[in-house]
């Protein structure tokens, strides 16, 4: 009896992990959603497994399926469950004023991104005052680590062996977005050396982006701050001053974070 119970427990845990993996993948599609084959290919599960998990998630309201496009997107139940959290993420609150100051002073859109497993997740965005805004990603957007300037910076913060492992795991997802994993690896190496990453080709055509890490009191990267602007607004001549401004913002966020958690036994839930 004990052996059978153990097998069932293992199978149950595996089903839960797979369901969460499917939810994460669906979330990466944002409002556009993903096709069944996209989820299947990205996760490496069988079509039958993905279809079974999606059917349950749809029935529970955690995922919804568009009748017209047949794409899957996050459902209303997830949004309702998130209301049980105590306010917004602590790091969002800590960074809000610094991001707003950066966007107001430089005129460009600023972003705050954290790592979550194999992904980067945007947790804050502040549009700048310049009329043409580059809203490259939405709050809550998930990307495979290595995609976008913040994804490169977050990867660069890891040990080389760990970064390579993640790049191998994300290879198919990165390729599906048109990125070459080897080129991403080179970008990560540059970011590790420079302590920032600048891309002359942003996620939106005609834009550029810049990102720097946010460090805690132990020198560990806890997030990445980025700015995105149309190419003319983030020219090579403006790069030094913009880099200085973004670094100042990053340092302010790190200082506020350290002041809150210095000497505390509490583990921050970003």
pLDDT digits (tens, 9 = 90+) for 12-51: 788 899 999 999 888 887 777 889 998 998 888 999 999 9
Determine the length of the chain.
270
Mean pLDDT over residues 49-61, rounded?
Answer: 92
**Whether residues 167 and 75 fall in one domain:** no
Q: Confidence band (pLDDT; 50, 70, 90) for 92?
A: confident
Place of tokens 């805690």: 216
List 178's β-bridge partners, or say none.
none
67: CATH: 1.10.10.10
Residue linked to tokens 């994460």: 24
| Residues 29/73, Cβ–Cβ less than 8 Å | yes
Nearest to 108 by CA among 227, 251, 239: 227
- Please report, rounded to a whole number, the percentage of residues in the chain having pLDDT higher than 70: 89
The pairing of beta strand 197-199 with beta strand 207-215: antiparallel
Q: Do residues 57 and 22 share a domain?
A: yes
Range of the domain at 12: 2-81
- 267 within domain boundaries: no
Tokens of 141: 């957007």
**What does the pLDDT look like over 173-192, one tens digit per residue?**
899 888 999 999 999 999 99
Give Cα 262 distance to the centre of its chain: 25
SS3 assignment, position 49: helix
Q: Is 148 part of a structural domain of the chain?
A: yes
> Are 142 and 47 in a shared domain?
no
């Amino acid at each position: 009896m004990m052996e059978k119970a153990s097998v069932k427990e293992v199978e149950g845990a595996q089903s839960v992990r797979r369901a969460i993996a499917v939810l994460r993948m669906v979330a990466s599609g944002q409002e556009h959603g993903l096709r069944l084959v996209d989820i299947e290919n990205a996760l490496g599960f069988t079509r039958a497994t993905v279809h079974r998990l999606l059917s349950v998630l749809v029935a529970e309201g955690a995922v919804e399926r568009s009748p017209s496009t047949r794409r899957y997107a996050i459902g209303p139940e997830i949004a309702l469950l998130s209301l049980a959290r105590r306010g917004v993420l602590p790091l969002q609150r800590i960074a809000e004023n610094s991001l707003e100051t950066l966007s107001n002073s430089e005129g460009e859109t600023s972003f705050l991104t954290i790592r979550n497993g194999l992904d980067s997740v945007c947790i804050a965005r502040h549009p700048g005052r310049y009329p043409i805004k580059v809203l490259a990603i939405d709050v809550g957007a998930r990307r495979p680590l290595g995609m976008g300037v913040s994804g490169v910076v977050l990867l660069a913060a890891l040990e080389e062996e760990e970064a390579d492992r993640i790049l191998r795991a994300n290879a198919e997802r990165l390729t599906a977005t048109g990125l070459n994993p080897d080129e991403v690896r080179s970008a990560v190496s540059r970011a590790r050396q420079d302590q920032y990453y600048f891309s002359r080709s942003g996620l939106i055509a005609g834009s550029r982006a810049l990102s720097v890490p946010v460090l805690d009191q132990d020198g560990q990267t806890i997030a990445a701050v980025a700015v995105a602007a149309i190419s003319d607004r983030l020219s090579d001549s403006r790069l030094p001053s913009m880099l200085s401004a973004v670094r100042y913002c990053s340092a302010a966020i790190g200082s506020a974070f350290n002041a809150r958690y210095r000497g505390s036994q509490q583990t921050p839930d970003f």
